[in-house]
Chain A
Amino acid sequence: MRYISAYSIIIVGIISFSYFIPYFFSIISIEKKPSSVVYYSPVIEDFTIIKQIDKNNKIYIDRVGNEYSLNEFKMINPMMYHRDLYMKNDFPEIIGNKFISIDDVQKQFEIVYIKPDEIVKSLSSIRLYPMYESMGDTANLEFPKDLFKIEDKVEFINGENKKINKEKSEIFTKKMLDAGFLFPAKIIGGNVDPKKRLDYGYFVSDSKNDIYRIYQEKGEAKVKKTGFTSKLGNPLYIYVRENHYAKHFAIIVTDNGEVYFILKDNYEVKQMSLGFFNPYENTLRIFIDPLNYTTKLISTNKELTFAFDNNLNLISNYEKIIENNMNTILATIFDIIFPFVIYDDKNNIDAPLKFEFSTKILYSLSFSLVLSISYLMFIGRKYKIDKYGYIDAVIIFATSIFGLLSILILNKERRNYFGFRVFS
Chain B
Amino acid sequence: MKHIFYKEFIKLKLAIIVVFSVNIAVNLYSYFRIRVGFIMQEPAVIWFDIISKNAFYFDRISMPFILSAFILGVLQFYIEADKKRFRLSCHLPLNEVVMTFYMQFFGLTIIFLLWLVDLLSIYIISYVFFPYDLVKEIINVFVYKLFIAFISYMIASSISLEYSLVNKLRILFLSVGILSFFTVNVYKPSLIHSFMGLLTTLVVLLMIYFPAINYRAGGK
Q: Which residues of A contact B (CB under 8 A)?
A: 1-2, 4-6, 8-13, 15-17, 19-20, 121, 124-128, 130, 143-147, 149, 157-160, 162, 192, 194, 342, 344, 349-353, 406, 409-410, 413, 416-417
Contacts and interface: CB of A to CB of B under 8 A. Distances in A.
Nearest to B95: A1
Contacts of B184: 344, 352-353
Interface string B183-220: 01111101011000000100111111110111001010
Interface stretch (B29-37, B41-49, B106-114): B41-49
Interface residues of B, number: 51
Contact of B51 (A128, A162, A413): A128
Contact of B180 (A19, A147, A162): A19
Contacts of A353: 181, 184
Given A8-B206, A352-B186, A410-B174, 16 more contacts: A1-B213, A2-B217, A4-B209, A5-B206, A5-B208, A8-B204, A8-B210, A10-B174, A12-B207, A16-B180, A20-B180, A125-B54, A128-B133, A147-B131, A353-B181, A409-B173
A121 B180 contact: no
A5 B193 contact: no
B24 to A, nearest CB: 25
Interface in B41-72: 42-48, 51-52, 54
B97 A1 contact: yes
A353 B189 CA distance: 12
A349 B187 contact: yes
A128 B47 contact: yes
B20 to A, nearest CB: 29
Contacts of B181: 19, 342, 353
A144 B44 contact: yes
B190 A128 contact: no
Contacts of A6: 210
Interface in B125-184: 130-131, 133-134, 137, 158, 164, 167, 170-171, 173-178, 180-181, 184
Nearest to B136: A126
B170 A409 contact: yes
A351 B186 contact: yes
Chain A to chain B: the 10 pairs with minimum beta-carbon distance, closest first = A16-B177, A159-B43, A159-B44, A13-B174, A5-B209, A8-B206, A349-B187, A5-B210, A2-B213, A5-B206
Nearest to B46: A159
A130 B188 CA distance: 22
A406 to B, nearest CB: 6
25 contacts: A5-B206, A5-B208, A8-B203, A8-B204, A12-B203, A12-B207, A13-B175, A13-B177, A15-B177, A16-B175, A16-B176, A19-B180, A121-B54, A124-B187, A143-B44, A157-B131, A159-B46, A162-B130, A344-B184, A350-B190, A351-B190, A351-B193, A352-B185, A352-B186, A410-B174
Interface of B: 42-48, 51-52, 54, 97, 130-131, 133-134, 137, 158, 164, 167, 170-171, 173-178, 180-181, 184-188, 190, 192-193, 200, 203-210, 212-214, 217, 219
Nearest to B217: A417
Residue among B130, B131, B133, B176 having the largest count of chain A Cβ atoms under 10 Å: B131
Contacts of B158: 9
Residue in B43, B46, B178, B210 whose Cβ sees the most chain A Cβ within 10 Å: B210
Nearest to B169: A409
A365 B131 CA distance: 52
Which of A147, A159, A162 has the largest count of B CB atoms less than 10 A from its CB?
A159
A127 B43 contact: no
B48 A12 contact: no
Contact of B203 (A11, A121, A351, A352): A11
A223 B205 CA distance: 56
A20 to B, nearest CB: 5
Nearest to A145: B44
A362 B197 CA distance: 31
B125 to A, nearest CB: 13
Contacts of A144: 44
Given A130-B44, A417-B217, A12 B133 contact: no
Contacts of B131: 128, 147, 157, 162
Contact of A12 (B42, B175, B186, B192): B175
Contacts of B204: 8, 12
A17 B171 contact: no
Given A159-B47, A349-B54, A413 B213 contact: no
Contacts of B171: 9
A159 B42 contact: yes
B133 A413 contact: no
A342 B47 CA distance: 34
A295 to B, nearest CB: 27
